[in-house]
A and B are shown apart, each in its own frame.
Chain A
Amino acid sequence: MIETSTPNKLSNLNKKDPSQKQAAVFHKMKRLKPLSIRKPSIAKKRPQIKNISQQFSHAETILSITDLCVYFSATKVLKNININFPKKGLVAIMGPSGCGKSTLIRAINRMHELDQSTNVTGKLMLGNQDITTLPAMAVRQRIGMVFQRPNPFPNMTIFQNVLSGYILTGMRLNKKQKNEIVIENLKKAFLWDEVKDRLHERGTFLSGGQQQRLCIARSLAMQVDVLLLDEPTSALDPIATTRIENLLQTLKKEIPIIMVTHNTAQASRISDYTAFLYLGELIEYNKTKIMFTVPSDKRTEAYLMGRFG
């Protein structure tokens, strides 16, 4: 993967291509050799297994991905990803910018189908069902997604936002059901106390962190099987971030969560398993505790030490 190049070549690299940039950074790192100096014990202990991947038994698995490839036009952005997600716990997906984290979770939610030039191949199983054969709408109703930027519907109130999954897909509810769903899910999302007196104000008047929790609430309201989050706290301040982290730690007891994060500290705080992606490949997937103490791959180690990304 990483070829030898001269320092001159590095500066000539096309800056627009993040994968090349990453390779360059990584190459530089290799030359500097600070890792073995700092942590000789880990370097010695490192087992020589490539692409170590956490396995779950069929019964433990909620979502299983086989040979997933994503192409944007002709560029292959995700390269044969094989990964299983557990029924219990929070999986963090880490990796340097541009490595394909968002692309991966958007593939799970079939968001790539909105873009004609994007091509996805591979197999996705949700429970016992092959969801690649289902219509995208049906899949998205079962897999919730929370985006990097809080995006409550601006033309809806807080109340309506929680119910938006039902409103948008034309599902009818009676008043009692509506109230129950709204209260239950706002509570689940740790938002009820802050908004209970202004349920009929617009969701966009809330703070960023509150908006993000509202977005989590509207996904929960759909009773999704899995919750995907793409860097849900990267647009938030530290206090709002902590609140979301606490929320996710509670939620993960009830619902499987897959969260993309840039922040290794965040991954170590709240995730049970961590997957490390690099240049569109799954490099390592393991229990978070193990990966953060004894990473198997030197690229994982370099990333965890803040060397690139």
Chain B
Amino acid sequence: MQVKDTFFRIILLIAACFAPVLIIGSLLTLSSGFIPAFNETGLSFFWSATWDPQTREFGGVVFLVGTIATSVLALILSFPFSIAISIFTGEIIHGTRLASIIANLVEIISAIPSVVIGLWAIFVFIPIMQQLQILIGAIPYGTGFLTATIVLAFMIIPFSATLGREVITLVPTHIKEAAYAMGATRFEVIRYVILPYARSGIIGGFLISTARAFGETMAVTMLIGNVNHLPTHILSPTNTMASIIANEFAEATDNVYYAALIGIGLLLLISSIVLSYLARRIIKHFIL
């Protein structure tokens, strides 16, 4: 019994250590891969907005900004839809066939490979954006910051909507009944009882969505326009950390160029870790 127990503990310990080891390992690998570029650029890698392989200037700020801006805007755009889907399927029509159909369809969005969504956007969404740009007198690139962000917003809806619906259905009936018995309307019950009760789960869902938006590569690379400048306009093309790596990694024959891209990877990993740390802080703060 004792031996079995110890054995089991060791197995669990190894399994539990796997994830941290993987993250620390990646950090080390990326850091060491980044050294050749760091020797060239110094700390300016982290605050320069110029990325020009020709002149061997490598600054990651454009991409850091691109990633954060697309993620935050995508989160904001997806918010009303996610919350509406959560409330509608989790409470208002909960238990009906329509609710499960909608919920399933929303979940299917997350199963569509992002390259497929990218292709769809190129053939359907980009022409629409071009019409729009012609209409307002902008250069009709079609691709660009807003295009990528809207598609990104669509792609992250299922994560927050599904978790949101899940926690909303978990709100105990006796609490809802208590509120109705006090004379509250359905809207008031949702506003003052259901949403506060489900708050931490809903916020958790949005954080997963954000994390997802942070790392999303393929669709963004296909739609963002791949220009290494800070966007001057909401429609202008730019790049994110994930998209610059995907777009230029194959071309990076130069040692320093290659190392600089690894540096961007390092930046992406660190910012993801910071994001998930902040996420945990936020959840703790909001938890009941």
Contact = CB atoms under 8 A, between A and B. Distances in A.
Interface of A: 109, 111, 114, 137-138, 140-141, 144-145, 147, 149, 151-155, 164-165, 167-170, 202, 215, 218-219, 222
A294 B284 CA distance: 61
Interface of B: 172, 174-175, 177-185, 188-189, 192-193, 196-197, 199, 288
Nearest to A138: B183
A173 to B, nearest CB: 15
A283 to B, nearest CB: 28
B191 to A, nearest CB: 9
Contact of A155 (B172, B177, B185, B193): B193
B6 to A, nearest CB: 40
Contacts of B199: 155
A107 B179 CA distance: 16
A138 B197 CA distance: 25
A36 to B, nearest CB: 43
A141 to B, nearest CB: 3
B181 A155 contact: no
Where chain B touches its partner, the secondary structure class is helix
Given A168-B188, A168-B192, A145 B183 contact: no
Interface centre among B185, B188, B192, B197 (most CB of A within 10 A): B192
Contacts of A154: 175, 197, 288
A147 B174 contact: yes
A144 B181 CA distance: 7
A152 B193 CA distance: 11
Given A168-B188, A168-B192, A218 B182 contact: yes
Contacts of A222: 182-183
Contacts of B196: 155
Contacts of A168: 179, 182-184, 188-189, 192-193
Contacts of A153: 175, 178-179, 193
A151 B182 contact: no
21 contacts: A114-B180, A137-B185, A140-B180, A140-B182, A141-B183, A144-B181, A151-B172, A151-B174, A151-B177, A153-B178, A153-B179, A154-B288, A155-B199, A155-B288, A164-B179, A168-B184, A168-B192, A170-B188, A218-B182, A219-B182, A222-B182
A218 B182 CA distance: 9
Nearest to B195: A155
Given A151-B174, A153-B175, A154-B197, A169 B180 contact: no
Closest 10 CB pairs of A and B: A141-B183, A155-B196, A168-B184, A145-B181, A140-B183, A151-B178, A165-B182, A151-B174, A137-B183, A168-B192
Nearest to B178: A151
A215 B172 CA distance: 16
Given A141-B182, A147-B178, A169-B185, 4 more contacts: A153-B175, A153-B178, A155-B288, A169-B188
A149 B179 CA distance: 14
Contacts of B174: 147, 149, 151
A159 B189 CA distance: 19
Contacts of A109: 181
Nearest to A149: B174
Given A153-B193, A154-B288, A170-B188, A111 B182 contact: no
A230 to B, nearest CB: 10
B178 A165 contact: no
Interface centre among B175, B178, B183, B196 (most CB of A within 10 A): B183
Contacts of B181: 109, 111, 140, 144-145, 147
A145 B179 CA distance: 10
Contacts of A149: 174
A137 B184 contact: yes
Contacts of A145: 181
Nearest to A167: B192
Contact of B183 (A151, A169, A202): A169
B182 A164 contact: yes
A114 B177 contact: yes
B145 to A, nearest CB: 38
A131 to B, nearest CB: 13
Nearest to A170: B188
Contacts of A167: 192
Contacts of B183: 137-138, 140-141, 165, 168-169, 222
Contact of A169 (B177, B178, B182, B197): B182
Contacts of B188: 168-170
A238 to B, nearest CB: 23
B170 to A, nearest CB: 12
A215 B178 contact: yes
Contacts of A202: 288
